[in-house]
Amino acid sequence: MHLHVHRWFVRISLSVLALSFPIGSSFAQNVPAPEEVLGHEVGADYKLATYEQAVGYFKALDQASPLLQVFEMGETSMGRSQIYAVISSEENMAKLDKYKEISNRLARAKGLSEDEARRLASEGKAIVWIDAGIHATECAPAQAFLQLAYDLLTSKDADTKLILENTIILLVFANPDGMTLVADWYLPNVGTPFETSRMPWLYHHYAGHDNNRDSYMNNLKETRNITRLATREWNPVVFYDHHQTAPFPARIWIPPAAEPTNPNLHPLFLREKNLIGAAMGDAFDREGKKGAISRFVFDFVYPGYEDSFIDFFNIVSIMTETALYRYATPHFYTVDDFPDAYKDFTIGVFYPSPWEGGWWRLKDAVDYANTASKAVLHTAAIYRERFLFGRYLMGKQTIEKFQDQPPYAWIVPRDQWDVPTAARMLDNLAFAGIEVYEADAKFTSSGITYPAGTWIVPMDQAFSRFVKAIFEEQSYPDLTKYPTLWQGIVAPQSFDDSYLPPYDMAGWTLPHQMGVKVRPAEEPLSVSMSQLETVQPPAGSVEHGRHAYLISPKANNSFIAANRILRNGGEVLRARESFNSKGELFPAGTWIIPSKSMTKAAMNEISHELSLAIRGTDKSPSIDTETLKKPRVALYKSWTASMDEGWTRWLLEEYEFEFTNIVDSEIKAGELWKRFDVLIIPSMRTERIIDGHKIGSIHPKYVGGISESGVRNIKEFVKQGGTLVTLRRGCFFALDKLGLPITDALKGMRPPRRRYGAAPAKSTDVKFACPGSVLRMEFNQEHPVAYGMPKEAPAMFYQGTAFNLSPSFSEGDTRVISRYPGGELLISGYLKGGEHLNGRAAAIDVSLGQGRVILLGFGVKQRAQPHGTFKLLFNSLFYGASY
């Protein structure tokens, strides 16, 4: 809806720079300082460089110095070219391909003797990846890159010489779009009352903060660029990811991390990670930079973060969180601002030099970020050979581990509920550098015979710890049982009744999320198999019928097919009940496309591109059907910027649904039913939807929410025949404001909201807790919103709820779409108080006037990961348009 035009441009012509800074033995004298190009010093108060300016500066350095070269890594979500810079000695720069090959051979380990590995480690260079700006409002690290690059190219000290000789440095801008979005928002506001106001849109086009939760999915273009470079092309030995939200009042968070620790990590990885963390702390204290803290707040048990994903590829990954005020605006802190526990500056093993307050500027954060980066580089330079051989050793020991114990492999049958989704999951593994095979002949494992063509992921490969981390079911540890792991005191105390939550997710088993059957091989496999570069589903097929084409609703790709057919003027019906055709059972929700409405060529193309088996029928099935139309979909977009809105937008585009983003003013204007059939409210707190930004906190254009008048208009939209679809926390808006006689079954039972900081929280006993976990769920296959779903399937519970139905409801007023069954619900993760979910509705269809409200109370599309339940959202849109 809004185009963000770059207001700041590179000020120096690259052709002029090429003439001004000739390459030669005195190149360091010719390297332009950042301020010569930017017009201000890096980290100056109230100044931010855009991505375009940063690229211009790096290209100027490329022209001026043989020690730096700029490369492109792909396109961003908003169409920019994403670049990275490589820095090393002139001799190393001439042999980049050689050092890449050495790093790759050591990383893969297979077929490499220990003597050969030691020779390669002695010969190789430590490739060190440093990225910044993935969370673009965390401004300092990406700005610091400009100074860091200059320092590395011009400094003559012994440490820099050691770094350039022994390491190859990759400086990667992780979120180019966000870097410019933030600068374009902040700079015009400098000197106004809204200087530090929040951006009213996401700093990643789709994901916002969740761009650092996408790594094992590779949904986003930037994620794919990073994964490809890190795990397949460069294979660094160290991967450093800068962030900027240190727990107050600390000035930077450094390793080691908080507990728990993912059980699939190699112990040598953990030792080397902590070694680098200690070197960072040493550097800060040597330079008199106070406030470095460790070992709380941030855990890395969840493999979806950029750095924790990399962990499982035996790359020593580091994250830091430098202190942030807001953008480039300075701020003065007094001790009165500190939490009580930090006011007396008591030191600790992991906080030995407490910060005592004072001014905090962007320049301070830039300096801290560069001290950390240089400490990482110096450590990698000193331990170059040890880190390189360690990478080999971790891969070798991983291969040996799974040659001797199960799982020996993961078997993925082709007989899947949704075959294209299964192939997509495996292709994503192959894209990340995991070896995926298919069986050349039939074979037997644990008494089950599998046909040729069965997909296999062997575990005797260097990166297989990643596969196990995402394929197995998680049992999130109850940290109250392991006080010695995390308390760090002489006599650890018991907190038996407490709930100690993870930083993010507790369970994420990817096959369960995607609805894919996988089986661990509990015994070694004896089968010839061929490696796949990419994993493709079986080719689509079309059986032409005189009356109609039939497409199963089981495959998510069937929704793309329906959208394409409708967009091209074809006719689409849905079966309201199951039926038989030519001896094959078709479930309720089957797509029926009259043959006269689409050409054979068009259906062949759809089948080929989407890998769909399309059947034909010569006569009309004797069943009730619903004729579909293209749904007119509105997706609410708040000026308080919702990540769930962004992910919903991404998903609708991916599956080719046409939709319109609408903002507060459009909802307040009313008459929505004249423009739309369906309105989606993403997962947001009710007060953000209604009240939005407060007056004085942001430019008046973005103040407020939909207000109570908007609530009335939404209610009128439904009464006039519209369909309101609410996602997760958005369901509370419907419960609170639309007068539905349904209640939140978990009200008053959830743990309090956490604020990640230094102030200790009180130990609390909670009745219910489920921090991002996979649960059992039953689906009403006859309801149009559950068309294409199994009777029971795993579902992602994340900030969700369950519903109590009022006895006053008549049977025609409400229909349960899905419910939590009785018994044990937890499949993967952590669940306390599951009895409060047993038997209750998880998704529900409520009539209101001539329309309906569909409440999807669990994570049907959380972060665009649970492909197994995407259908509930997609079906809701077609259902709403056909009402």
For 178-211, write each residue's pLDDT tens digit: 999 999 999 999 999 999 999 999 999 999 999 9
Structure tokens at 426: 């495996």
Nearest of 549, 631, 618 to residue 590 by alpha carbon: 549
Q: Is the distance from CB of 27 to CB of 16 less than 8 angstroms?
A: no
Residue 411 burial class via C-beta count within 10 angstroms: exposed 0-12, middle 13-18, buried 19 and up: buried
- Spatial neighbors of 865 by CB under 8 A, at least 6 apart, are 217, 508, 510, 513, 514, 796
Residue 828 is classified by DSSP as: E
Which three-class secondary structure state does DSSP give residue 488? Answer: coil
- The per-residue pLDDT for 27 is 62
End-to-end CA distance of the chain: 29
Burial class (CB in 10 A: 0-12, 13-18, 19+), 94: exposed
Which pTM does this prediction carry?
Answer: 0.95
547 burial (CB, 10 Å; 0-12 / 13-18 / 19+) is: middle
| Rounded Cα–Cα distance for residues 591 and 878 (Å) | 12
Instruction: Give the model's pLDDT for residue 662.
Output: 98
pLDDT, tens only, 71-90: 999 999 999 999 999 999 99
Asked whether the predicted pLDDT for residue 760 surpasses 80, the reply is no
- Chain mean position to CA 33: 36
Question: Which band of pLDDT confidence, cut at 50, 70 and 90, is reported for residue 493?
Answer: confident
Per the document, the length of the chain is 883
Residue 599, number of CB atoms within 10 A of its CB: 12
Q: How confident is the model at residue 13 (pLDDT cuts 50, 70, 90)?
A: very low
Structure confidence at residue 22 (pLDDT): 40
Q: Extract the tokens encoding 96.
A: 């980049």
The Cα 417–Cα 73 span in angstroms is 36
Helix (H) / strand (E) element for 128: namely strand 126-132
Please write the tens of the pLDDT for every residue from 610-668: 999 999 999 999 999 999 999 999 999 999 999 999 999 999 999 999 999 999 999 99
Say which DSSP state 453 is in: T
How confident is the model at residue 18, as a pLDDT?
Answer: 38
Give pLDDT, residue 187: 98
> 625: burial class by Cβ within 10 Å (0-12, 13-18, 19+)?
middle
Closest CA to 682 of 510, 556, 490, 856: 856
| Angle subtended at Cα 705 by Cα 693 and Cα 882, rounded to the nearest 5 degrees | 145
Instruction: Report, in this order, helix, strand and coil percent for the chain, each rounded to 5.
Output: 35, 20, 45
Cβ-contact 766, 832 below 8 angstroms: yes
Q: Quick one: three-class SS letters along 129-144?
A: EEEECCCCCCCHHHHH
Q: Are 485 and 467 in contact (CB under 8 A)?
A: no
User: Which token pair is 484?
Assistant: 């010695």
pLDDT of residue 691: 98
Query: For residues 440 and 530, is the Cβ–Cβ distance under 8 A?
Result: yes
CA geometry: angle 432, 436, 440, nearest 5 deg: 165
Q: Do 241 and 317 form a contact (C-beta atoms < 8 A)?
A: yes
Determine the Cα–Cα distance for residues 756 and 773; give it in Å rounded to an integer.
21
Angle, nearest 10°, between helix axes 557-567 and 870-882?
30
561 closest CA partner among 584, 593, 514: 593
Q: Which residues of 504-535 are buried (b: 16+ CB within 10 A; e: fewer)?
A: bbbbbbbbbbbbbebbbbeeebebebeebeeb
Of 310, 326, 330, 396, whose CA–CA distance to 128 is shortest? 310
Average pLDDT, the chain: 94
pLDDT per residue over 377-428, tens digit each?
999 999 999 999 999 999 999 999 999 999 999 999 999 999 999 999 999 9
Query: Nearest CA to 320 among 499, 130, 185?
Result: 130
Q: Which of 267, 264, 259, 272 is nearest to 300 (CA)?
A: 259
Q: What is the mean pLDDT of residues 720-737?
A: 97
CA distance 279 to 287: 12
Give the chain's radius of gyration (CA, Å): 28
Q: What angle do CA 820, 826, 832 make, to 5 degrees?
A: 95
Q: How far apart are CA 174 and CA 51, in angstroms?
A: 11
Tens of pLDDT along 863-874? 999 999 999 999
Q: What are phi and psi of 137, to 5 degrees?
A: -75, -10
The Cα 256–Cα 446 span in angstroms is 41
Q: How confident is the model at residue 23 (pLDDT cuts 50, 70, 90)?
A: very low
d(CA 328, CA 326): 6
Q: Are 130 and 172 in contact (CB under 8 A)?
A: yes
Reported as a single tens digit per residue, the pLDDT across 551-602 is 999 999 999 999 999 999 999 999 999 999 999 999 999 999 999 999 999 9
pLDDT at 765: 73
Would you call 776 helix, strand, or coil by DSSP? strand
Q: Which of 696, 671, 678, 684 lies closest to 637, judged by CA?
A: 684
Tokens of 478: 């109850």
Tell me the pLDDT tens digit for each residue of 339-369: 999 999 999 999 999 999 999 999 999 999 9
Q: How far is CA 796 from CA 505, 637, 692, 743, in A?
A: 10, 24, 28, 21
Among 654, 662, 655, smallest CA distance to 678 is for: 662
Of 783, 876, 873, give the one whose Cα is nearest residue 587.
783
- Helices and strands counted in the chain (H then E): 27, 37
Q: Give residue-wise pLDDT tens across range 124-177.
A: 999 999 999 999 999 999 999 999 999 999 999 999 999 999 999 999 999 999
Quote the tokens at residue 846: 């409520």
- What local confidence, expressed as pLDDT, does residue 527 receive? 97
Confidence band, pLDDT 50/70/90 cuts, at residue 754: low
Buried b (16+ CB within 10 A) or exposed e, 852-876: bbbbbbbbbbbbbbbbbbbbbbbbb
| Residues contacting 305, CB < 8 A, separation 6+ | 212, 213, 215, 319, 504
Q: Which amino acid is at 62?
A: D
